[in-house]
Amino acid sequence: MPAEIALLLFVIACFGGCTVNNATPAPEATVQSYFFPLDNGMLYTYGRTTNFTDYDTITCQMVIAQSGLTQNELKDTTTKLPFYYISYTNDADGNLAGILSTDTSTLMALDGKLEPGATWVADEIRGIQATVVEQYDDYYLPGRQQAYTDVLAVEYHQDGQPADTYTLRFFARGYGLILERQLVGPTTEISRLQLIGIQYPS
C-alpha cells in the first residue's frame, strides 16, 4: 500500500473514532451526589397530598449539626420540629449510605452503587427492600412545571405487602428528594410529597 494512502486511512480513522475520547463522561452516580446537600440554611418547599385529596405545603430548612450531640435536620419552619434527620453512614460492606430518619424510623434511602437494578436493605426492622428502578437524564415532576436533570427513582417495598404496594422516591443530582409517592395498587396514589421550590441561603 502506498504511503500516501496509508496516511489518508489513518487520518480518516482518527476523525471517525478518536472523537469519542473528547466526549464528557457521565458523572459517577454516588450517594452524596443524589442525597440532600448539607447546605446550612437551604429551604425546601414541598406540596403535600395526604388521604388521597388533602393538600397543604410545608417548608423545611436544612439545619446542620454544630456538635456531635445534635443531628442534621430538615426542620419544619412552622412547627420547628424535624421533618427528617439527615445523615450518612456505612453499610455492612463499607459502602456509603444516605439516611432519612424520624423519631420512629430509620431508612437507608440511598446506598452503594446507584444504578438501575441495584438493591439494598433499607430498613431491616420493618423489612423494607430498596431497588433503583430507573435513572432519567431529564425528569418532569407531575404537572410538568419543573424538570430536573439526572434523576434516580427508587422503590421501597415492605415484606408481606403486595408487589404493587410500595413507596417511590425520586432523587435529583444536587438537590436530594424531589418527589415521594405512596402507591397502593397499580393506579392508586394515597399520598404525595412534591418539591415546588428551593431557596438557597444568602
Is residue 7 one of the residues assigned to a domain?
A: no
Q: Which residues pair with 86 in a beta bridge?
A: 72, 100
Of the candidates 105, 64, 109, the residue with the CA atom closest to the CA atom of residue 91: 109
Sequential DSSP letters for 83-138: EEEEEEEE-TTS-EEEEEE-SS-EEEEEESS-STT-EEEEETTTTEEEEEEEEEEE
pTM: 0.84
CATH of residue 118's domain is 2.40.360
Which run of H or E residues covers position 198? strand 188-199
> Is residue 13 assigned to a domain?
no
Q: What is the pLDDT of residues 61-84, one digit of tens each?
A: 999 998 777 899 999 999 999 999
pLDDT at residue 29, rounded to an integer: 81
* All cell numbers assigned to 62: 436544612
Predicted local distance difference test score (pLDDT) of residue 54: 78
Grid cell for residue 119: 438493591
- Give the residues of the chain that fall short of pLDDT 50: 1-24
Is residue 37 in a domain?
yes
- Number of domains composing the chain: 1
On whether residue 187 sits in a domain, the answer given is yes
Which domain does 64 fall in, by range?
A: 30-199
In a domain, 171, yes or no: yes
- What pLDDT does 10 receive? 37
